[in-house]
Structure 1
Amino acid sequence: MQPLHQQPLVQKILSQPNYQFWALNVFGWTGYGFFVALSAIFWDRHLGLQVAYTLMSVLSGMLLSVWLRSYYKRIWPKDVIVRGIYSLLAVIAATAVWSFLKMEVFFALNQDIDYKRSLFEYLGWYTYSFFIFLSWAALYFSLKYYRMLQQEKEKTLKAQAMAHEAQLKMLRYQLNPHFLFNTLNAISTLILEKQTATANGMVTELSKFLRYSLDNNPMQKVTLAQEVETLQLYLGIEKLRFEERLKMEFTISESARNALIPNLLMQPLIENAIKYAIAKSPTGGTIWLDADVLHNQLSIQLSDNGPGITDIQSALRPRSEGEHGGVGLANTRERLQELYGPAHGFELENIHPHGLRITIRIPYSSTERSKAA
């Protein structure tokens, strides 16, 4: 951010309350002085004397408005009713001083006018001066409350963004322990079965995957190509378990490869497919990942040839006992909802003769677009 003393004056006026006050104050009192001076021509007054009177009126009014601002700052912490009463009394006092000064100077400069000091004459000057200062005070408080409203809005948006980020992190980090538990359980089984070489290989692959997870912010987005590279780390672990029983086929268009998606979006879904479509079948199975860009949306389809789902709604409830239930599906849907709201799609469907297809649609953005912007 550019230091304040290096910012252009217009930018300072738009962003700094103190500059806004002085800009509006000078502009307002200059406008008042213009119309007062103009009245000299209309009433055929001596122009030089009228200019002197105008300068006195503008400068004294400006000084009193600066005093009002300082006074309003001091009483601002008070209760709103007390603040309102004190503010009105301050306007009454400032108007009284300003009206007296203007009236005395005006008649001192215009000796040709038969001037008689009277309460009625003073009240005439006071009345229109009071409305000028009352309007000034109303504008001052309107701008102050507007700035407060904007600040509260910014605080609310910031709080919402922080809550949004915390929610996404919670959903993301909830998946890591789930995956870690499954993998450690598989390693334990391999050790008990004395398949130490396979267990050692799985530990090595697990360390690579966890290093990637820890080194990358779960809030950032990555290209689909990077996501596939990460999936290869995960699948390297699972390949040690299932060997030839696990088959994986990727069909990704060139435009989809550069599409940005949430980091580690697909891993829990593939883990879910392996758990229910591969692990439960003696002959294993195949998982297909297809991605393309259609109508400015990234469309991702993850399919398997497992048994499918008997209750889709149950599968989408967190930690349900449905066939494809648990953390993966529900958390992925919640994560997409947090990130994209109604602009995303997340659908499950059984496919013929057997299997499950998960379809994800999110707004298309790419590394090329980011660079162009």
Structure 2
Amino acid sequence: MQRIFEDRNRQFWILHTLGWMGFAVVGYLGSLFQEMREAYLFVVALDAYAGWLLSIPLRYLFQRIWSWSPWQMILSIMLVAFIVACVWTVIKNFNYWEIYRHGYRPDEWIQYFKQTSVGFYVILSWSGLYFGIRYYQTLQQEKQKSLTASNKAHEAQLKMLRYQLNPHFLFNTLNAISTLVLINEADTANKMLSRLSDFLRYSLYKDPIKKVPLQQEIYAANLYLEIEKVRFTERLTIELDVATNTELALVPSLILQPLVENAIKYAVATQTAGGTISIKARKFGHDLLIEVADNGPGMPIDDGLPKDSGGVGLVNTRERLAALYDKDFSLVLTHNQPQGVKVNIRIPFEVELNDEELA
């Protein structure tokens, strides 16, 4: 049924025909209260058929005046509806007198136009329905275009926000690989390059619009941290505490990477002794709770975000979450105990349904 009505031309003919069939049914049912003979059914059918034929040219005329000013359109519709109503009334009276009254002829020709006002209201109603349906279709098309444009802009924004996060990390990693080559640490450089390749492959092939299971994000975060561990060696400690029932929970792709990158930048790289980065995930009711914490020197926090101009990754992450979940999320930056910073994310707990569950 939906496919049938997707074609506007087919939609017109269906509605046009059903409308005039409805007119014939109503006309015949009304005659039952007036004790009309069965021959009146044939008269009503001819009247409806005549109306069906006469109103077809109105469609093409109205298409031509569609772009006219409102007053020009109204006057044109009224005039055309009156002319068509006059012709239709003459045909209806002729059918009634010839078939039902067995060849009756009125004394005055003006009698052929008797009840023109009724025909005028019917044709005017047809015209009103035509314009109403067409305005609705145009409005829906514009709405669809607006939604499509909004979605395209939305996708572009998400992609831009995600790809803003990687250059700093890539620059540092390539520098580290270059240093390892210079000091003849070929095996370590090769391992680091291999992990970088895997991480970039994951980063490039995961659509930022789509969500992925948390276990894939943990895998990507591990790739990133293993690369950084080559740079910082024993100065970087990693702790993972991910509940088993959260591994299949859907999260935005690479949502952990900017949080881990910030922890590396502000907690590990700034301390001679290095630091610890922990990632936790829990299910709480209908929500998924993710925490990324460090034991670094900390930073001033204002309204859940860094006070200074840093923390671009956090701002971008919040914007991505807002674009994907509207207001049904939270991202809060707080002080860790005894020291450091932790980022808490709350998003709806979602899992990907398999074919059996969908069925």
Q: TM-score, normalised by structure 2?
A: 0.90
Distance in 2 of aligned mates of 1:236 and 1:182:
14
1:214 to 198, 204, 208: 204
* Cα 1:369–1:306 shift into 2, 3 Å: farther
Is 1:316–1:330's contact at 8 Å kept on the other side of the alignment? no
Q: How far is the alpha carbon of 1:343 from its aligned partner?
A: 0.3
Match of 2:254 in 1: 264
Match of 1:337 in 2: 322
Distance in 2 of aligned mates of 1:58 and 1:25:
11
SS at match of 2:122: helix
Distance in 2 of aligned mates of 1:181 and 1:124:
89
Q: How far is the alpha carbon of 1:70 from its aligned partner?
A: 2.5
2:239 is equivalent to residue 249 of structure 1: yes
Q: How far is the alpha carbon of 1:92 from its aligned partner?
A: 1.7
Match of 1:235 in 2: 225
Q: How far is the alpha carbon of 1:114 from its aligned partner?
A: 7.8
Distance in 1 of aligned mates of 2:353 and 2:37:
70
Match of 2:125 in 1: 135
Q: TM-score, normalised by structure 1?
A: 0.87
Is 1:208–1:233's contact at 8 Å kept on the other side of the alignment? yes
2:350 is equivalent to residue 365 of structure 1: yes
Distance in 1 of aligned mates of 2:315 and 2:224:
20
Identity of aligned residues (%): 42
Alignment of 1:30-109 (within 5 A): 30-48=21-39, 50-109=40-99
Distance in 2 of aligned mates of 1:237 and 1:293:
29
* Cα 1:71–1:239 shift into 2, 3 Å: same
2:116 is equivalent to residue 126 of structure 1: yes
Alignment of 1:297-312 (within 5 A): 297-312=287-302
Distance in 2 of aligned mates of 1:287 and 1:235:
9
Q: How far is the alpha carbon of 1:80 from its aligned partner?
A: 4.3
Shifted more, 257-266 versus 179-188: the winner is 179-188
Match of 1:28 in 2: 19
What is the RMSD of the two structures over their aligned residues, measured on CA atoms? 2.5
* Cα 1:39–1:369 shift into 2, 3 Å: closer
2:167 is equivalent to residue 177 of structure 1: yes
Distance in 1 of aligned mates of 2:36 and 2:107:
19
SS at match of 1:55: helix
Alignment of 1:284-299 (within 5 A): 284-299=274-289
1:273 to 252, 260, 263: 263
Amino acid at match of 1:334: E
* Cα 1:92–1:274 shift into 2, 3 Å: same
Distance in 1 of aligned mates of 2:301 and 2:30:
84
Distance in 1 of aligned mates of 2:252 and 2:27:
64
Is 1:41–1:47's contact at 8 Å kept on the other side of the alignment? no
Amino acid at match of 1:162: K
Match of 2:9 in 1: 18
Is 2:336–2:342's contact at 8 Å kept on the other side of the alignment? yes
